[in-house]
């Protein structure tokens, strides 16, 4: 561990370890909003520090990008109608899911899992009704390029506050063989998506051989405990006290290559 990293670690311990600070005061985001400006205003009372991490739900990114779809304007294809019968879903919704996907992974009653065009595998290609609109026929897509959005916000907010402020954009995903959704990183900038711990010594001096840490996913999952999933109204969290080596990371580096994916 470098002297700088050690100093950060000791500072975190002195302040009570890792802290998750809800970013409050953000309005309901509308298409075209300057999200960097809205976040800067809401973050100001928290006085962001060097190597704090800002975690933002993908939903407010998508809303600012205007990624809404009205299902009344969607004509389902023959494939969508067929899959909808098996999955017991609205054929119009299935059509939107297919348009956002490059492959169908699994289909069963009430379940449609696809490989999203961004590379990750998830239910419904991330197309969501929740916290989107009072109109039940309006759904929200994932952001068009979460890594690029994270990079933009990282640059803008780091410049605003004069610190290195990594950004993680998170979404809720399920996992093979386990119940319950968890927060995962779909966009990352300013920190590793995956941190390589190979070669580090454990408590007994054994050098780790295969350990790679899903750092950005851990950060996203921790922040989701504060954000919640329903009406909590906390779309952003500032994490303080995390010990990591800053670099130009991305969510793309987290995606397991298809030929190594046993669950696809």
Domain-terminating residue out of 139, 155, 190: 139
Is 37 in the same domain as 161? yes
Q: How many CB atoms lie within 10 A of CB 235?
A: 25
The whole-number pLDDT of residue 214 equals 85
Q: What is the pLDDT confidence band of residue 1, given thresholds at 50, 70 and 90?
A: very low
Per residue in 155-188, pLDDT (tens digit) is: 999 999 999 999 999 999 888 788 888 999 999 9
**Residues 98 and 56 both lie in one domain:** no
Same-domain pairing of 93 and 110: yes
Residues 246 and 172 in one domain: yes
In-domain check, residue 165: yes
Within this chain, do residues 155 and 226 fall inside the same structural domain, yes or no?
yes
Same domain, 250 and 154: yes
CATH code of the domain containing 108: 3.90.1660.10
**147 and 25, same domain (yes or no):** yes
For 85-130, how does the pLDDT look when each residue is reduced to its tens digit (9 = 90+)? 999 999 999 999 999 999 998 999 999 999 999 988 889 999 988 8
Cβ distance 251 to 193 under 8 Å? yes
Residue 159 has a pLDDT of 97
Paired strand residues for 187: 169
The answer to whether residues 106 and 213 belong to one domain is: no
pLDDT of residue 5: 38
Looking at the fold, whether 118 and 149 belong to one and the same domain comes out as no
Q: What is the pTM of this model?
A: 0.87
Contact 94, 125 (CB under 8 A): no
38 and 147 fall within a common domain:
yes
Beta strands in 51-133, from DSSP E residues, in sequence order = 53-57, 68-70, 101-108, 111-116, 121-123
Q: How far is it, in rounded angstroms, from Cα 146 to Cα 221?
A: 17
Residue 12: predicted pLDDT: 42
- Based on the fold, state whether residues 161 and 55 are members of the same structural domain: yes
Domain that holds residue 246: 3-66+143-255
pLDDT: is 258 or 189 the higher one? 189
Structural element, H or E, at residue 243: none
Are 154 and 189 in contact by the 8 Å Cβ rule? The answer is yes
Confidence check: pLDDT of 233 > 80: no
Asked if residue 262 belongs to a domain, the reply is no
Is the separation of the CB atoms in 131 and 59 below 8 Å? Answer: yes
Do residues 42 and 79 share a domain? no
Report d(CA 138, CA 245) in Å as an integer.
41
């Amino acid at each position: 561990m470098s002297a700088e990293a050690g100093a950060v670690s000791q500072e975190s311990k002195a302040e009570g370890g890792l802290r998750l600070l809800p970013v409050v005061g953000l309005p309901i985001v509308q298409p075209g909003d300057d999200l960097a400006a809205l976040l800067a205003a809401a973050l100001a009372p928290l006085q962001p520090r060097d190597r704090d991490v800002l975690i933002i739900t993908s939903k407010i990114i998508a809303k600012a990008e205007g990624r809404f779809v009205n299902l009344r304007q969607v004509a389902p294809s023959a494939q969508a109608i067929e899959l909808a019968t098996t999955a017991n879903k609205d054929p119009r919704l299935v059509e939107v899911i297919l348009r956002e996907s490059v492959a169908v992974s699994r289909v069963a009653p009430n379940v449609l899992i696809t490989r999203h065009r961004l590379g990750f595998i998830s239910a419904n290609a991330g197309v969501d009704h929740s916290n989107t609109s009072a109109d039940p026929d309006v759904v929200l897509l994932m952001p068009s390029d979460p890594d690029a959005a994270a990079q933009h916000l990282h640059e803008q907010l780091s410049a605003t506050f004069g610190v290195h402020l990594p950004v993680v954009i998170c979404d809720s995903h399920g996992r093979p063989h386990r119940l319950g959704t968890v927060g995962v990183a779909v966009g990352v900038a300013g920190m590793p998506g995956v941190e390589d711990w190979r070669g580090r010594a454990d408590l007994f001096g054994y050098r780790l051989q295969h350990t790679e840490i899903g750092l950005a996913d851990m950060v996203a999952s921790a922040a989701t405990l504060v954000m919640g999933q329903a009406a909590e109204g906390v779309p952003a969290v500032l994490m303080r006290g995390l010990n990591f080596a800053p670099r130009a990371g991305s969510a793309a580096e987290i995606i397991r290559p298809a030929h190594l994916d046993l669950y696809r």
